[in-house]
Amino acid sequence: MKTFTVTVAGTERFDGEEPYTWVVEAPDMASATSKAVAYHALAQDQQLCDLEADPLRTFEGLPPDNCGYYWNDVRAELL
């Protein structure tokens, strides 16, 4: 399994809130994005149809040390 950083924007974006960034383990980018979007939907009590993954802030690996934003490490979570 590889580590991926996936940024997901939900309905909070309409209130001016920044998107959430999740760090997950998955075999590939598509699986990582699916995991992060599903986790966001469950954790934030939102509908999948309201969520968008941000492709510019979704990549393989951990966020850089000086990324300037908070991220949620859910690699140990059972997804």
Query: How confident is the prediction for the chain on average, in pLDDT?
Result: 94
Please count the residues of the chain. Answer: 79
**Residues 12-66: tens digit of each pLDDT:** 899 998 999 999 999 999 999 999 999 999 999 999 999 999 999 999 999 999 9
Do residues 74 and 24 lie in contact, with contact meaning Cβ atoms separated by under 8 Å? Answer: yes
Predicted confidence at residue 68, as pLDDT, reads: 87
Residue 46 DSSP SS3? coil
pTM of the model: 0.90
**Residues 22-33: tens digit of each pLDDT:** 999 999 999 999
CA distances from residue 32 to 2, 3, 4, 15, 35 in whole angstroms, order as listed: 9, 8, 6, 26, 5
Phi and psi, residue 39, nearest 5°:
-65, -45
Whether 79 has a pLDDT exceeding 80, the answer reads: no
